Amino acid sequence: MDHGRRWFVMSAIGEDRPGIVADLAELIYDCDCNLEDSRMTRLGSEFAVLLLASGQGPDVEAKLAAGCKRLEWEKRLTVFLRRVDGPPAASPVGRTLVCTVTGIDKAGIVARVARTVSAHGLSVRDLRSDVRHASNAGTPVYTLRLAMDAPPSVDVARLRADLEQAAGELGLELSLDQLGPDV
């Protein structure tokens, strides 16, 4: 293990335009850091980034912070930098479950499904959602996809029943699939 290595989480958001990814990647490179993990996507007219970087040296945090301020000023990005305690934790032993719900868009879908998942002690690894308009009627259709880390002790049948109840009350279609232990 690298004892001098430090870990940072960075989030950034700005109006979608060519070059945002390059700007952030160059900042990390220019600070002699490594881009360890990232999620980047367009949300409406904005581009959002969440990434994990690591670097060494007594001034690595100061260099990253100064670079973030420069990007805010020069590139009109909102950037947040946070130092974290160490490298990412190893994936827990267990299964990866994927829950997908689809139906007419209404308030409370994510809150209800996430609370049901939380009540079973599951950690959300990834959540994605979007609204599409049905081609025939233009009705807004909402899709939510949750990937969850499920330890062996989780009662998948009970989880499925509780999720199906929540989905039924919201008028949604639901699927719950197991991807395997190491996905």
Domain boundaries, the chain: 5-84, 95-180
Q: Does domain 95-180 have CATH number 3.30.70.260?
A: yes
Is it the case that residue 133 has pLDDT exceeding 90? no
| 5-84 and 95-180 in the same fold | yes
Phi (first) and psi of residue 129, to 5 degrees: -145, 155
Which pLDDT score, from 0 to 100, does residue 180 have? 60
CA 119 – CA 166 distance, rounded (Å): 12
The dihedral over CA atoms of 153, 158, 160, 166, expressed in degrees to the nearest 10, equals -130
Which token pair is 136? 């025939």
102-113 per-position pLDDT tens digit:
999 999 999 999
Residues making up the chain, counted from first to last: 183
- Give me the CATH code for the 5-84 domain, please: 3.30.70.260
pLDDT class for 152, splitting at 50, 70, 90? confident
Task: Measure the CA–CA gap between 112 and 163, rounded to whole angstroms.
Answer: 9
Q: Measure the CA–CA gap between 66 and 23, rounded to whole angstroms.
A: 14
